């Protein structure tokens, strides 16, 4: 019997109440990117602040120029061993379109069983409401059983992670002394597979950009003007087509500056992972990797930078047909960064690349959607070893040190502004459909996620 | 004093009543491409059938599998000199988006004065409700004054011209003997300029096509899958970029088969036209022709084929940002045809061109949006000479024989199914904003358009 078996037993005995709280949080339509859901975001923040108070934190809603932050510090003021930690999660979620592909209401969470696996469905169940609650519920159980937490804990919950984290930098700057701790804990990542835990030690950065091409000063009839009048869709298509070569290499000048090649050791380790690239693509109906030639699928998603097109629109897109030449066409694109790639240099070079391809009688406007550098953790970092031991205790397997394709801007900001490293532990799975219709979070991810965090908190104090 | 001065005087005296009828017709939201406006299309058809009856035609609404046709034959059964004619117009209109760019309600017609020019604003005022009424009002005045029309007149009004004319072919086939006359009169074209009438003797054909690329079987998170997973926007952009070379030449195989080069005589005549290409583009904020190198702007819009992109959509297109890799992306495109280009061969070759560029693990779906060959009229055609004289009488200037960039599918069908040529006379102007926000029709276009048709009817009987 370990010293926290009583905490774990309490978690097991109260899992239904934990799930009810997860359902309550998922019900808030906290889509941060769409102004129509501003009030829903605030209500989610208020609910979380009240929950923190309920657990015994001084939880409060803190204003920003965008959606509010939720901050809470453990009320227990005594000296504690181990690092003081700041836990981070985000309560905002992705939009739900296309709505018609959902099998149930994205904001009406339901517990279903599929292929023998129990899961809760709904937008945000995995990304990041269910995940952030694993930590809050671990704290709740710990305090309920032991009266206090083993290390000093503060909590920061953001409401703009899915929309560029515009308020994050100023908020961290303004509250530096309050939020700067010894270590950040982040729960927004995945397991290696349903049986194998993971700690994400490499994380890609992000540059998000929206480009709008304007040709004529009004929409034109393609019969009257077709031929001589510049078509912004044609201009845009050519620019996008130029952004990759035949080998999947991104053509933005100096794009690969600061991209490290993997050491032969790490490459050998990754090649030996039980990761089946064909199955990874096959699972979503694909079979031909489109990343850079010469890199494995695992390398393409975790160690290589990308330039992806996330949206495009222009002209008539409704039912039927309209013989129009649009005045404008636009695309949203994002670059994933690795190693020492500089997000600001990449945005600058991307814009120059595009401008050079816009005809003299057309114009281009740019809109910025977030910038964050990549992140990586040394294998000798003590909390990494402590976290790994805790996960091994819970799952019976050593966690895999993973490279993650996605970006968590906070990790870069924590390092640069608050001068602390982040330990990224999460319980999501590749089939959670985050950012897609029918998002879900397995009940086991939630339950053993809570248990895992209780173990991590205990391990950090050792 | 000519033999129809009394008719012209009646037109002048009753212009306000004619304008009121135009307003009534413009009020119907007869957007044929959008199923939400099905009832509005029917109501427009019913209004027109009643109007024909009011004039003395046996007007009726005729069912099709889409929006109805309106057909009417002059009730006057006596023998008449000159050709029996079938007048054609269309009562359906283009969608009105982007609505925020309209200065007034698109379906709330208003008569305004701008830079000293009186005009009626509203969707369809020019294309084609105002234009088709010029003919109906000429018939109304003629019958009111003379008791009968100088030639035998039938009228066919379509409700699907802006959405691919899906019902037209079967309707013409099914009603061949009823509708086949000696000559078709069509009012859906423009003047050369506000002072100079025109008869359109060359008309580009059209192939409309919608292509949808499917990559993964669901939307993906660009952090998890970015790199190896095929991105349908990238696939689509590359296909669209491949469709033109650096000189604006369309790259579909055999695309230029059947495209005639202009004779040196016609080229010389066109070069001497008072058409200012720089002003034509400058009027819409452009300056660099994007059609085929080596052809004048006038040739590019009237004598050369094109491939234009009319719409594109894929991924997240709302406010803010979503780091998604879409499952699907689609584009609407249309080719304008000239000479003997075969629309069916072009569609086949276009599809093959696209299929060859779709990766093996992605798929493409096609949807057809209309096909019509180009049209041209011999200068020796008798009704062309008669029409030209009538227009010269009204406007004091010989009409310009024009090549028109737009397509009027009916003209090809009239030739192939009903074996009759079409005389294309219209009073629209380049600045009418057809297919765009703030469509308008000048009051002078309407008034003198009615007078012109009265003269044409008289001339055809001579």
| pLDDT tens-digit readout, A52-93 | 999 999 999 999 999 999 999 998 777 898 999 999 999 999
Element (H, E) at B174: helix B168-174
| pLDDT tens-digit readout, B91-126 | 999 999 989 999 999 999 999 999 999 999 999 999
Looking at the complex, report in whole angstroms how far the Cα of residue B187 sits from the nearest Cα belonging to chain A.
16
Say how far apart CA B459 and CA A334 lie, in whole Å. 65
pLDDT value at A260 more than 50: yes
Q: Does B309 lie at the interface with A, CB-CB under 8 angstroms?
A: yes
Answer yes or no: do B286 and A230 touch at CB < 8 A.
yes
| pLDDT tens-digit readout, A161-213 | 999 888 999 999 999 999 999 999 999 999 989 999 999 988 888 999 999 99
Cβ neighbors of A266 (< 8 A, separation 6 or more) are none
Q: Does A193 lie at the interface with B, CB-CB under 8 angstroms?
A: no
Mutation pick from A222, A236, A275, A305 vs chain B, by most beta carbons of B within 10 Å, is A222
Nearest CA in chain B to A34: B319
What does the block give as tokens for B392?
A: 């010269």
pLDDT value at residue A1: 41
Answer yes or no: do A218 and B101 touch at CB < 8 A.
yes
pLDDT value at A442 more than 90: yes
Torsion angle of C-alpha atoms A107, A108, A113, A119, degrees rounded to 10: 40
User: For B341-354, b where at least 16 C-beta lie within 10 A, e where not — what string?
Assistant: bbbebbbebbbebb
Q: Bigger pLDDT: B416 or B324?
A: B324
Answer yes or no: do A369 and B234 touch at CB < 8 A.
no
pLDDT value at A249 more than 80: yes
Q: Does A336 lie at the interface with B, CB-CB under 8 angstroms?
A: yes
Mean pLDDT, residues A383-409: 88
pLDDT value at residue B2: 62
Contacts of A227 in chain B (CB under 8 A): 248, 289-292, 297, 300-301, 304, 306, 308, 336, 405
End-to-end CA gap in chain A:
16
What does the block give as tokens for A222?
A: 């393609």
Contacts of B328 in chain A (CB under 8 A): none
Give Rg (Cα) of chain B. 23
Contacts of B435 in chain A (CB under 8 A): 219-221, 322-324
| pLDDT tens-digit readout, B18-40 | 999 999 999 999 999 999 999 99
Residue B205, helix vs strand vs coil: strand
Say how far apart CA B51 and CA A88 lie, in whole Å. 71
What residue spans define the domains of chain B? 5-203+374-460, 206-259+305-372
Three-state SS annotation for B387-425: HHHHHHHHHCCCCEEEEECCCCHHHHHHHHCCCCEEEEE
ipTM of the complex: 0.71
State the average pLDDT for chain A.
Answer: 94
* A:B CB pairs within 8 Å: 371
| pLDDT tens-digit readout, B54-99 | 999 999 999 999 999 999 999 877 789 899 999 999 999 999 998 9
Answer yes or no: do A312 and B315 touch at CB < 8 A.
yes
Mutation pick from B224, B426, B431 vs chain A, by most beta carbons of A within 10 Å, is B224
Say how far apart CA B315 and CA B322 lie, in whole Å. 8
Measured at the CA of A392, the angle between CA A390 and CA A394, to 5 degrees, comes to 75
State the average pLDDT for chain B.
Answer: 94
Which DSSP string do the residues of A59-108 spell out, in sequence order?
A: -EEE--SSSPEEEEEBS--S--SS--EEEEEE--B----SGGG-SS-TTS
Question: Would you tell me which residues 394-453 of chain A have a C-beta closer than 8 angstroms to some C-beta of chain B?
Answer: 404-407, 430, 433-437
Residue A427, helix vs strand vs coil: coil
Looking at the complex, report in whole angstroms how far the Cα of residue A82 sits from the nearest Cα belonging to chain B.
33
Crossing angle for the helix pair A15-26 and A38-55, to the nearest 10 degrees: 160
Contacts of A313 in chain B (CB under 8 A): 312-314, 317
| A252 contacts A357 by C-beta, under 8 angstroms | no
pLDDT value at residue A2: 62
Cβ neighbors of B147 (< 8 A, separation 6 or more) are none
What does the block give as tokens for B296?
A: 């004048």
pLDDT value at B308 more than 80: yes
Residue A420: closest CA among A143, A29, A156, A61 = A156
Q: Does A67 lie at the interface with B, CB-CB under 8 angstroms?
A: no
**Among partner residues B32, B241, B288, which is closest to A241 by beta-carbon distance?**
B241
pLDDT value at B249 more than 60: yes
Q: Does B246 lie at the interface with A, CB-CB under 8 angstroms?
A: no
End-to-end CA gap in chain B:
16
- A5-203+374-460, what's its fold? Aminopeptidase (3.40.630)
Contacts of A311 in chain B (CB under 8 A): 233, 314-317, 322, 324, 326
**Among partner residues A208, A228, A319, which is closest to B290 by beta-carbon distance?**
A228
Mean pLDDT, residues A140-165: 95
Mean pLDDT, residues B254-261: 94
Dihedral sign, Cα of residue B337, residue B343, residue B346, residue B351: positive
Contacts of A287 in chain B (CB under 8 A): 360-361
Number of H helices and E strands in chain B, helices first, is: 15, 18
Residue B302: closest CA among B265, B332, B275, B330 = B275
Backbone angles phi and psi of B156, in degrees to 5 = -130, 120
Looking at the complex, report in whole angstroms how far the Cα of residue A306 sits from the nearest Cα belonging to chain B.
6
Looking at the complex, report in whole angstroms how far the Cα of residue A251 sits from the nearest Cα belonging to chain B.
14
Weakest mean pLDDT among A326-330, A383-387, B229-233, B267-271: B267-271
Q: Where residue B1 falls among pLDDT bands split at 50, 70, 90?
A: very low
Question: Would you tell me which residues 22-51 of chain B have a C-beta closer than 8 angstroms to some C-beta of chain A?
Answer: 32-35
Domain B206-259+305-372: assigned CATH number: 3.30.70.360
Mutation pick from B222, B300, B319 vs chain A, by most beta carbons of A within 10 Å, is B222
Q: E-assigned strands of A122-274?
A: 153-158, 183-186, 198-203, 205-214, 220-221
Weakest mean pLDDT among A112-121, A405-414, B159-168: A405-414
Backbone angles phi and psi of B128, in degrees to 5 = -135, 15
CB neighbours (10 Å) of residue B104? 12
| pLDDT tens-digit readout, B421-454 | 999 999 999 899 999 999 999 999 999 999 999 9
Q: Where residue A308 falls among pLDDT bands split at 50, 70, 90?
A: very high
Mean pLDDT, residues B283-303: 93
pLDDT value at B345 more than 80: yes
Q: Bigger pLDDT: B224 or B45?
A: B45
Q: Where residue B288 falls among pLDDT bands split at 50, 70, 90?
A: very high
Q: Does A210 lie at the interface with B, CB-CB under 8 angstroms?
A: yes
Say how far apart CA A333 and CA A207 lie, in whole Å. 8
DSSP class of B68: P
Q: Does B100 lie at the interface with A, CB-CB under 8 angstroms?
A: no
Looking at the complex, report in whole angstroms how far the Cα of residue A247 sits from the nearest Cα belonging to chain B.
12
Mutation pick from A164, A237, A409 vs chain B, by most beta carbons of B within 10 Å, is A237
Residue A189, helix vs strand vs coil: coil
Q: pTM of the full predicted structure?
A: 0.71
Give Rg (Cα) of chain A. 23
pLDDT value at residue A253: 98
What does the block give as tokens for B297?
A: 């702007």
Q: Does B97 lie at the interface with A, CB-CB under 8 angstroms?
A: yes
CB neighbours (10 Å) of residue B416? 12
Element (H, E) at B45: helix B38-55
pLDDT value at residue B263: 79
Three-state SS annotation for B95-129: CCCCHHHCCCCCCCCEEEEECCEEEEECCCCCCCH
Say how far apart CA B343 and CA B204 lie, in whole Å. 11
Element (H, E) at A461: none
Q: Where residue A327 falls among pLDDT bands split at 50, 70, 90?
A: very high
Question: Would you tell me which residues 104-163 of chain A have a C-beta closer than 8 angstroms to some C-beta of chain B?
Answer: 162-163
């Amino acid at each position: 019997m370990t010293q926290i078996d009583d905490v774990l037993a309490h978690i097991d005995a109260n899992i239904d109440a934990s799930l009810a709280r997860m359902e309550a949080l998922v019900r808030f339509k906290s889509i941060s990117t769409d102004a129509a859901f501003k009030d829903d975001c605030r209500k989610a923040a208020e609910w979380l602040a009240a929950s923190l108070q309920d657990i015994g934190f001084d939880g409060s809603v803190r204003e920003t120029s965008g959606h509010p932050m939720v901050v809470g510090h453990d009320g227990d003021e005594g000296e504690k061993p181990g690092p003081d930690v700041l836990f981070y999660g985000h309560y905002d979620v992705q939009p739900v379109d296309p709505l018609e592909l959902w099998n149930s209401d994205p904001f009406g969470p339901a517990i279903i069983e599929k292929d023998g696996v129990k899961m809760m469905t709904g937008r945000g169940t995995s990304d990041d409401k269910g995940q952030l609650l694993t930590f809050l519920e671990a704290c709740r159980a710990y305090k309920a059983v032991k009266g206090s937490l083993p290390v000093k804990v503060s909590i920061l919950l953001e409401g703009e992670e899915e929309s560029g984290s515009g308020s994050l930098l100023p908020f961290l700057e303004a509250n530096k002394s309050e939020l700067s701790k010894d270590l950040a804990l982040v729960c927004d990542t995945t397991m290696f597979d349903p049986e194998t835990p993971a700690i994400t030690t490499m994380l890609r950065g992000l540059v998000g950009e929206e480009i709008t091409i304007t040709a004529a000063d009004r929409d034109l009839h393609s019969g009257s003007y077709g031929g001589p009048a510049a078509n912004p869709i044609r201009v845009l298509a050519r620019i996008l087509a130029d952004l990759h070569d035949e080998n999947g290499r991104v053509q933005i000048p100096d794009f690969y500056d600061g991209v490290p090649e993997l050491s032969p050791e790490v490459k050998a380790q990754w090649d030996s992972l039980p990761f089946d690239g064909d199955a990874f693509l096959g699972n979503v109906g694909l079979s031909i990797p489109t990343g850079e030639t010469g890199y494995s699928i695992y390398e393409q998603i975790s160690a290589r930078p990308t330039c992806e097109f996330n949206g495009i629109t222009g002209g008539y897109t409704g039912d039927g047909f309209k013989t129009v030449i649009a005045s404008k066409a636009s695309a949203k694109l994002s670059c994933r960064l690795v190693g020492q790639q500089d997000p600001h240099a990449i945005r600058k070079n991307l814009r120059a690349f595009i401008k050079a391809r816009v005809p003299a009688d057309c114009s281009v406007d740019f809109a910025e959607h977030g910038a964050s550098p990549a992140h990586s953790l040394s294998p000798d970092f003590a909390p990494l070893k402590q976290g790994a031991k805790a996960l091994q205790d819970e799952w019976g397997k050593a966690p895999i040190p993973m490279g993650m394709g996605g970006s968590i801007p906070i990790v870069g900001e924590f390092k640069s502004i608050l001068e602390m490293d982040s330990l990224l532990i999460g319980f999501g799975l590749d089939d959670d459909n985050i950012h897609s219709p029918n998002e879900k979070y397995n009940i086991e991810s939630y339950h053993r996620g809570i248990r895992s965090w209780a173990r991590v908190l205990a391990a950090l104090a050792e």
